[in-house]
């Protein structure tokens, strides 16, 4: 969980909760590799996003990468806090997150 190594995740087809079952913790980076035919001369491309804070990440569709920067819940999620996740900003419309990331496009064989 220190972010020192990457863990390969496979997209699942969970019929009961297809989105939540495909979100995973992102400590400091997330990476997707291109699909399709490859050869030693042209390995698949990969996209890595290095984040400035832990978040949730997913690739719900082929070639898509999604990071959950800020989330809000109007009702309690039943996980022990017993309150909704509604952080209010100075305008009472919710907080706007500030976010920094670095992207890297590379050969997928590295």
Distances (CA, A) of 1 to 26, 27, 40, 66: 9, 7, 33, 20
Could you tell me the strand order of the sheet in which 24-26 lies? 24-26, 55-58, 66-68
Q: What is the pLDDT of residues 41-96, one digit of tens each?
A: 777 788 889 988 888 899 988 888 998 877 677 777 776 778 777 766 667 666 66
Global model pTM greater than 0.85: no
Cα diameter, the chain: 55
- Which has the higher per-residue pLDDT, 37 or 104? 104
């Amino acid at each position: 969980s220190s972010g020192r190594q990457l863990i390969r995740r496979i997209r699942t087809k969970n019929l009961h909760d297809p989105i939540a079952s495909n979100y995973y913790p992102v400590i400091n980076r997330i990476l997707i590799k291109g699909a399709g035919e490859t050869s030693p001369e042209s390995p698949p491309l990969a996209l890595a996003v290095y984040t400035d804070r832990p978040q949730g990440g997913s690739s719900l569709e082929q070639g898509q990468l999604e990071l959950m920067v800020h989330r809000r819940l109007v009702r309690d999620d039943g996980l022990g806090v017993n309150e909704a996740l509604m952080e209010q900003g100075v305008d009472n419309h919710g907080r706007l997150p500030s976010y920094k990331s670095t992207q890297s496009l590379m050969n997928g064989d590295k």
